[in-house]
Structure 1
Amino acid sequence: MGSEVAIALADVRARLAAAAARAGRPADRQPRLVAVSKTKPAEAVKEAYEAGQRDFGENYVQELVDKAPQLPADCAWHFIGHLQSNKVKTLLEAVPNLAMLETVDSEKLASKLDSTVAALGRPPLPVFVQVNTSGEESKYGVEPADCVPLAAHIHRSCQHLRVAGLMTIGMPDYSSRPENFTCLSGCRTAVCEALGLKEEDVELSMGMSGDFESAVEMGSTNVRVGSTIFGARSYPAKA
């Protein structure tokens, strides 16, 4: 019998495949599963790796900087938390296999990423523009009306970055409303029309443990699943 992580991972993969089938997704356009190991030890990530998982996500710079060296180099790390400009160099220097940064929410951050990628001699970094589709003040991300100007800045002024897609975060209970997903899809259409990009080349990162199946049915190409794979998160008790 496999580990609990491996068993849970297999179940999520099966649910993901079923959702993709319901959406009529072709075999070569299957959504990407990013296993989010926030607060979980590197050993748990290794269990998922041994079960065939390669895309992993982290919310905090220090946690990713600590974990990445403990895992094989062919892990594709996604940074999915809010990133402060003063942490950009630390993240990019310490994680050479950072495959995606999903949370670009300002021109300042994009420009800092661009100059740091260039200074380190890294290949162009794929990034997602984070959009606040729910209108919650507690959420990071640009307003939907501002996604085109930010995407245009990255596309035209940041030659060491690549606009790979758009990302949104669900509601407080980690489930999103259909209109949030529809909004992000509309943002993609606007970005592609403005920049002359094909929609199939611009991803939608939406859907987490509570809503990834409905997100896939509504067009998500990248889902971020944590607790359903690794179990409930463990936070230190407050003094």
Structure 2
Amino acid sequence: MYDVAKNLHEVLDNIPDGVRLVAISKYHPNEYLEAAYAEGQRVFGESHEQELSQKVKTLPGDIQWHFIGHLQTNKVKYIAPYISMIEAVDSLKLLKEINKQAAKHDRVIDVLLELHIAEEETKYGLTPDACRELLEDGEWRGLKNVHISGLMMMASNTDDEAQIRKEMMTAADFFDEVKARYFASDPEFKERSWGMSHDYPLAIQCRSTMVRVGTAIFGPRVY
């Protein structure tokens, strides 16, 4: 087994106050999550509904579960009873479905809007223009069981640090625009979620408030 406790503290030592760690635990066994939990970690990220539902049943009840992958609308109903945050909302249709399912459980679910800034076709997300269009339309304001808490993005999968920095700063500047224009009166619109195991120190420099780190804590995934 990887020394999860040691790895976790090495990551935490590199994260300043004001930045939260989401420990990406997908494809890792319960004992790895339990080791991180024993060291105080409470926020974990999963991206497969069936795996997540098994972990929810068997792990401590005060864990905050973030859904981090691409989420299909027909899967929302399964996670709505317990999910703490859905990090990758890329359409009004998905936003409305989350609102509908959250209402059934008398919950308000926090979400992040996913931006597509990376120069890769494989990434999901809204272009900045599409994000502006969604927010300008205003239908989201009537959704009382979902709360838009910020933005998330994934930088290009490249070793070019300059390109990663450019993409993350584009997201950070866009966050400022959206905050001022649509969420100026909402102090809870504050999350900037970018940065993973290989680039989270750079993400923190680029004003990230939430980093998603898996491999650096838990080692290679166990498929």
- Taking the TM superposition and a 5 Å limit, the aligned residue runs for 1:1-239 are 4-17=3-16, 27=17, 30-93=18-81, 96=82, 98-122=83-107, 124-151=108-135, 153=138, 155-172=140-157, 177-197=164-184, 201-235=189-223
1:21-79: per-residue Cα shift (whole Å, max 9, x none)? xxxxxx4xx20000001110111101100011001001211111111121111101111
1:174-228: per-residue Cα shift (whole Å, max 9, x none)? 9871111111112212212321426974210000000101101110000000000
Is the contact made by 2:158 and 2:164 (CA closer than 8 Å) also made in structure 1?
Answer: no
Instruction: Write the distance in 2 (CA, Å) between the matches of 1:224 and 1:191.
Output: 22
Describe the SS at the equivalent of 2:13: helix
Distance change (3 Å), C-alpha of 1:86 and 1:166: same
Instruction: Write the distance in 1 (CA, Å) between the matches of 2:133 and 2:52.
Output: 30
Instruction: Write the distance in 2 (CA, Å) between the matches of 1:151 and 1:228.
Output: 35
1:102-141: per-residue Cα shift (whole Å, max 9, x none)? 010000000001111112212x111100001113211110
Is the contact made by 1:81 and 1:103 (CA closer than 8 Å) also made in structure 2?
Answer: yes
Describe the SS at the equivalent of 1:126: strand
Q: Which amino acid aligns with 1:102?
A: E
Range with bigger deviation, 146-155 or 55-64: 146-155
TM-score (norm 1): 0.85
Instruction: Write the distance in 2 (CA, Å) between the matches of 1:190 and 1:64.
Output: 34
- How much does 1:163 deviate? 1.1
Describe the SS at the equivalent of 2:103: helix
Is the contact made by 2:86 and 2:111 (CA closer than 8 Å) also made in structure 1?
Answer: yes
- Is there any run of 5+ residues in structure 1 with no aligned partner, and where? 18-26
Q: Which amino acid aligns with 1:186?
A: D
Instruction: Write the distance in 1 (CA, Å) between the matches of 2:183 and 2:14.
Output: 34
Is the contact made by 1:203 and 1:221 (CA closer than 8 Å) also made in structure 2?
Answer: yes
Q: Which amino acid aligns with 1:135?
A: E
Instruction: Write the distance in 2 (CA, Å) between the matches of 1:224 and 1:214.
Output: 13
Q: Which amino acid aligns with 2:150?
A: G
TM-score (norm 2): 0.91
Distance change (3 Å), C-alpha of 1:45 and 1:34: same
Q: Deviation above 6 Å: which 4+ runs of structure 1?
A: none
Is the contact made by 1:166 and 1:188 (CA closer than 8 Å) also made in structure 2?
Answer: yes
Residue matched to 1:22 = none
Q: Which amino acid aligns with 1:137?
A: E
Describe the SS at the equivalent of 1:177: helix
Is the contact made by 1:37 and 1:58 (CA closer than 8 Å) also made in structure 2?
Answer: yes
Distance change (3 Å), C-alpha of 1:99 and 1:199: same
Distance change (3 Å), C-alpha of 1:62 and 1:120: same
